Every structure is written in C-alpha cells, then in structure tokens.
Structure 1
Amino acid sequence: MGYKIAVGSSDGVYIDEHFATALQFLIYEVDGDNYEFIEKRVNEELCECSRYHENKFAPLIEKIKDCRVLLVGKIGYGAAAVLQENGIDSYGICESVDVALDKIVKYYGKLNN
C-alpha cells in the first residue's frame, strides 16, 4: 500500500526548510521501494507562531494531512508532537532530497515487511 511523503525544500535539491516557516512542501508518492514527485504545495499563510494560539500549526498540517511522513531541515518538539497526533511522522534532516527519500523509503519498507 502506498503513502505520501512531504518534503520541506526551497529548491527541490536539499531539505532546508524549517517546518513552521516552510514556504512549500514537495509531495512524493511512495509505492514499494519507488517514489515519484507528484506536486508542490505552496504555503501562502505561514505558521502563526504565537505560544498562546493552540492551533498555530493547523494551516501547515492541513497542507500535508494526507502524508504519512514529513522531512524538514528543522522541527521543534511541540510541532513534532502535534504532527504525531495527526498521524504524521516527522524527521529533521539536512541532506539532499533524493538521499533522504531513499533512506526513509527503505526504513518504512522494513517496517512493513
């Protein structure tokens, strides 16, 4: 069964976006050991980073709610916890998109076998 991965990348080459301020997410569809870029989702409204706003990540989560995994350059513990509550595993990783996708697809493939 396939799943989607959201990648926070400003240039499509490196994972370099911070979750709360990501300008876009690149969405990849995973099928077995293969993945394919399917679309770019632009964030027109950045995260409302007020500590007192309990749904500050809601607009960003809405963009990737159909994804199983999020790969970003940086993510805070609070954001990671909220994503986990929404069924999205998140990883802070700074490397090329292709290398990171290869690693995560292999990792999730082992989990499903």
Structure 2
Amino acid sequence: MSKGWQDVTTEEVEKRLSSDAPLQLIDVRNPDEYGDGHIPGSTLIPLPELPARIHEIDQNREVIFICRSGNRSGKACEYLDQLGYANLNNMVGGMLAWTGKQERN
C-alpha cells in the first residue's frame, strides 16, 4: 500500500513558495520551537492539537507540513491521509534542513 502524501525537499518548498502557488504551510512543532524560527506565512498547529484544529486545514489547497526534522510532519500527513485528505506534503529534513527565510517571534 502506498502512502497518500508526498515527501518534498526544502528546495522544492522554496521553489513552490516563489511561484505563488496556493499553498498552506502548517508547522506542527511546539510553540517554543516555532518562536525560535519558522517559515514566513506558516501557521502553527502543534501536532497534539491537530485533531481539535483540523478545521483550519483547507482541503482545496496543497498543504505542506513542517516540523524540526520531518518526523512529526510525517505523522500529521499519515493522520490526515487516514481521514481522506488529499494534497498532503511532508517537508523532509524539516527546519534543520531549511536554508530559506525565517521569522522569529
């Protein structure tokens, strides 16, 4: 059985961001990790909160999940795939591999 999402590299994410594609970036790390640096325009939904905040995910847009290394974002993809969501992407390598712009707060 194949998985219902794509693994994408940080380079692919940067290309998609520069193309103005209708993306939704969801960061599933903890608030302190997010505050230390995140991709501009990403929405923080910590993985444990995902079931309660699933309504914030736009099923009509491509979604890229982000975490520290790609593990938690993979779990988010797996969870949403089981619920029938499509257009899911896991940013492999996570923020450890991200070399693009970051915001801090």
TM-score w.r.t. the length of structure 2 is: 0.39
Q: Larger Cα Rg: Structure 1 or Structure 2?
A: 1
TM-score w.r.t. the length of structure 1 is: 0.37
* Structure that is richer in helix per residue: 2
